[in-house]
């Protein structure tokens, strides 16, 4: 550490005191920036690698924290199921109140698919195959993803905000002090609600999308209803419906765990609650899309291993 003389003015004269220490806090910020710039490209690369390593550490810690949270939730399912008084309100909030928005969205998604697909199929003179394409798209992909997105937006954000408020107001700490396990009392009912009821919401989205597409195709586009349904029954099978419902189970578990975890680890204040609700939806939606990709690849591999020929729409 360098030493420079420090001069102080007294009455009638000026005295310089040698050996005054210079600390990093006493340096001018411009001189600090200049010192950093003197590092050159090597210093910039060093800082970039340090930031990347810090990001990797934070992501690893976050994944480990969520995994431990998920394991604690699952362990309670094999230890003791929640009481009816806590389970039924969660089922009502998650399942019953989500039916209208899922049904309405599914209906218009089916109509949109009919509108967007009709022009291309008309060029190839395959209008009657429109029902097979729309229904297969709904039951395999759009139905599960649509139901999961609506659930994450309506229920996931609400769960994160509710639990975050309980964390900020120390209600979760009060439960712990009274001897009640907060994961068992708060998380397990919501996890079971999402896991059990999202297949029902998925089937509702599929059904309303099929009805909406059928109504628009027959009444507006004028497609023959007999060939529309016969092609749908020929190309859309039970495995397609099973694959969509099977994927929805993973989506529901993801929404519950991510939302409850964000609520339990909410930052203090109203701003922290808002960030928890927003991050719960964003993280759930991103993970849903990632799971949809890998589950779709796995289910397609299983399908073609059972039926190598598959089905051909053209």
| H and E: helices and strands count for the chain | 13, 2
Q: What is the DSSP letter of 6?
A: E
The chain-wide mean pLDDT, for the chain, equals 83
Name the nearest CA neighbour of 108 among 198, 208, 202, 199. Answer: 208
Q: What is the pTM of this model?
A: 0.80
Give me the torsion for CA of 75, 79, 83, 88, rounded to 10°. 40
- Look at residue 228 in the predicted model and tell me its pLDDT: 85
Helix axis angle for 238-264 and 269-306, nearest 10°, is: 160
Is 110:134 a contact under the CB 8 Å cutoff? yes
Return the sign of the alpha-carbon dihedral for residues 72, 73, 76, 77: negative
- Look at residue 286 in the predicted model and tell me its pLDDT: 94
Q: 243 by DSSP, 3-state: which?
A: helix
pLDDT tens-digit map of 197-238: 999 999 999 999 999 999 998 888 888 888 888 888 888 888
Which has the higher per-residue pLDDT, 39 or 49? 49
pLDDT tens-digit map of 293-307: 999 999 988 888 887
Q: Please state the rounded mean pLDDT for residues 160-189.
A: 89
């Amino acid at each position: 550490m360098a030493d420079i003389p420090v001069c102080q003015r007294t009455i009638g004269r000026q005295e310089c005191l040698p050996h005054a220490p210079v600390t990093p806090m006493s340096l001018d910020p411009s001189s600090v920036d200049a010192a950093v710039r003197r590092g050159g490209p090597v210093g910039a690369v060093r800082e970039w690698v340090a930031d990347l390593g810090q990001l990797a550490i934070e992501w690893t810690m976050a994944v480990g924290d969520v995994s431990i949270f998920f394991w604690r939730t699952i362990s309670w399912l094999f230890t003791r199921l929640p009481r009816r008084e806590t389970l039924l309100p969660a089922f009502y909030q998650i399942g019953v109140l989500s039916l209208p928005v899922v049904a309405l969205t599914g209906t218009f998604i089916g109509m949109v698919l009919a509108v967007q697909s009709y022009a291309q199929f008309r060029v190839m003179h395959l209008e009657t195959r429109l029902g097979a394409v729309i229904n297969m798209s709904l039951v395999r992909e759009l139905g599960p993803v649509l139901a999961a997105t609506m659930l994450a937006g309506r229920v996931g954000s609400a769960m994160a905000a509710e639990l975050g408020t309980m964390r900020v107001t120390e209600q979760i700490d009060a439960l712990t002090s009274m001897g009640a396990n907060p994961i068992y009392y708060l998380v397990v009912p919501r996890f079971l609600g999402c896991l059990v009821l999202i297949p029902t919401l998925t089937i509702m989205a599929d059904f309303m999308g099929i009805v909406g597409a059928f109504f628009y195709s027959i009444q507006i586009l004028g497609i023959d209803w007999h060939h529309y349904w016969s092609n749908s029954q020929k190309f859309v099978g039970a495995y397609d419906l099973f694959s969509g419902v099977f994927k929805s189970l993973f989506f529901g578990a993801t929404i519950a765990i991510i939302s409850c975890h964000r609520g339990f680890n909410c930052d203090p204040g109203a701003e922290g609650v808002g960030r928890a609700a927003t991050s719960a939806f964003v993280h759930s939606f991103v993970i849903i899309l990632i799971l949809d990709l890998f589950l779709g690849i796995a289910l397609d591999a299983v399908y073609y291993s059972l039926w190598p020929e598959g089905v051909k729409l053209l």
